[in-house]
Amino acid sequence: MAELLEAVMLICFGLSWPLNAYKNYKAGTAVGTSWQFIALITAGYFAGIAAKFVSGNLNWVLAVYFINVICIAANWLVYFRNRRLDARRCSELVVEEETLVVA
C-alpha cells in the first residue's frame, strides 16, 4: 500500500512538469522561472531514487521517479532555451539602441 501511495504522490506531482514545460516554452522567456527551484526539485528526485537503491527497495515506483526526472529534464531544456532567447532579444535591443544613438 505504501508503494501505491508513493506512486500516486509522484504521479500527481509529476504531472505538473510537462504542463510547466509547455507553458514556459510557449512564453518564450525565462523571466519568472527560478532555476533554483528546478534544481531543488531535481535534487529531490535524485534523493528519492538514491533512497530506493540504499534501502534495497527496488520496485516499480522507481520507474515513476525516472519518468519524473525525464519531465524535469524537459523543464531544464526549456529554461536554457528561453535564457538563450532572452539573451538574443537583449542583444538585439542593445544594437537597436546603439543604432538610434548613432543616427
What digits encode the pLDDT tens for the residues 49-89?
999 999 998 999 999 999 999 999 999 999 999 999 999 99
User: pTM, whole model, 2 decimals?
Assistant: 0.82
The answer as to whether 24 is a domain residue is no
Q: Count of domains in the chain?
A: 1
In a domain, 41, yes or no: yes
> Average pLDDT in the 20-26 region?
96
Q: Which of 53, 56, 55, 75 is nearest to 65 (CA)?
A: 53
CA–CA distance, 59 with 52 (Å, rounded to integer): 8
Q: What is the DSSP letter of 103?
A: -
Residue 17: inside a domain: no
d(C-alpha 102, C-alpha 76), whole Å: 39
- Residue 12 is assigned to a structural domain of this protein: no
State the residue range of the domain holding 56. Answer: 32-103
- Classify residue 7: in a domain, yes or no: no
Grid cell, residue 4, equals 501505491
Grade residue 93 by pLDDT with cuts at 50, 70 and 90: confident
pLDDT digits (tens, 9 = 90+) for 27-39: 999 999 999 999 9
Residue 2 lies in a domain: no
